[in-house]
Amino acid sequence: MSHRTTYPPGVPCWVETSQPDPEAAAAYYGALMGWEVDAGIARLDGRRVAGIRQAPPGSPAAFWGTFVRVESLEVTLTVVGQEGGSVLVGPTDGVAVVADPTGVPFGLSDRHAAEVVSAPGSWAMSALHSPDPAAAEAFYALFGWEAEPLPGTPLTLFRLPGHEGGEPGQALPRDVVAVMTATEGGVPPHWAVNFRADDVDALAARATELGGALIMPPTDAPGFRNAVIADPQGGVIAVSQPV
């Protein structure tokens, strides 16, 4: 587990879900993850872990988003445009939502940040599912990210040289800030959000009891046991348990 108070520019710092019914989502994730939700902020033991906000009018389903810490929203938004991205929302209240050149949305923030990560019930990593990994590698370099294939897997690591996150002894290098894979099997391009679990099988069972659905049942992968869950309003998360 890692308590965080600061995030250097270029490091993903926050995740939140937009929901047609935020109160129902707060009740669901509170029961599933043990979160206490107040004024749209979910906490574990009093520390911020994620946001739950009202979805824009007309949104057919809930969705999750990942935010990258930046030093200046205005400067970064200019660079995003220069690199082929587009501004979707904002900037307002310290955040903006943009899309990379392939149309995948994500957020920028100069203030919101998770205070605990990589603990059961908290955010562990975000993964880009890209229709054009080469274009994504070039675009996300604007944050200082360097792409490196992970041997023996379909994953590419995004590393931020000089950054030391995570925990000592973890499977991935501590300067890894995100991972990427090519879209396949009908999966739409998106930034997926992964939460840590202490028992993936029990969490998956609890999710269905609470009205959620299993997109991928608990499955073993090198170093982890994973599942993919949709909440009752359609927001999708992955959950992982180190093994």
Give the pLDDT band of residue 1 (cuts 50, 70, 90): very low
241 neighbors 124 (Cβ within 8 angstroms)? no
Q: Please write the tens of the pLDDT for every residue from 57-85.
A: 877 789 999 999 999 999 999 999 999 99
Domain membership flag for residue 1: no
Backbone angles phi, psi at 224, to 5 degrees: -145, 155
Domain membership flag for residue 37: yes
Give the pLDDT band of residue 243 (cuts 50, 70, 90): confident
Q: Please write the tens of the pLDDT for every residue from 144-181.
A: 999 999 888 888 999 999 887 766 666 777 789 999 99
The pLDDT, as a whole number, for residue 159 is 95
pTM: 0.93
The pLDDT, as a whole number, for residue 124 is 93
Contacts of 40 (CB under 8 A, 6+ apart): 22, 51, 52, 53
Q: CA 56, 59, 64, 66: dihedral to nearest 10 degrees?
A: -50
Longest alpha-carbon distance in the chain: 47
41 — alpha (psi -120 to 50), left (phi > 0) or beta?
A: beta
Domain membership flag for residue 203: yes
Kindly state the average pLDDT of the residues 230-236.
96
Q: Please write the tens of the pLDDT for every residue from 24-43.
A: 999 999 999 999 999 999 99
Domain membership flag for residue 91: yes
The pLDDT, as a whole number, for residue 165 is 74
Residue 4 confidence (pLDDT) above 70: no
Tally of CB atoms within 10 A around 101: 15
35 neighbors 231 (Cβ within 8 angstroms)? no
Tally of CB atoms within 10 A around 209: 10
Kindly state the average pLDDT of the residues 199-203.
97
The tally of domains found in the chain comes to 1
Domain membership flag for residue 117: yes
CATH number at residue 175: 3.10.180.10
Domain membership flag for residue 113: yes
The pLDDT, as a whole number, for residue 173 is 77
Q: Please write the tens of the pLDDT for every residue from 85-134.
A: 999 988 888 899 999 999 999 999 998 789 999 899 999 999 999 999 99
| Helix, strand, coil fractions of the chain, as percent rounded to 5 | 20, 45, 40
Give the pLDDT band of residue 14 (cuts 50, 70, 90): very high
Domain membership flag for residue 2: no
The Cα 235–Cα 62 span in angstroms is 4
Between these two residues, 74 and 3, which has the higher pLDDT value?
74
- Cα first-last separation, the chain: 15
What does the block give as tokens for 20?
């047609």
Q: Is 1 helix (H, G, I), strand (E, B) or coil?
A: coil
Domain membership flag for residue 214: yes
What domain range includes position 209?
8-242
Q: Is 115 exposed, middle or buried (0-12, 13-18, 19+ CB in 10 A)?
A: middle
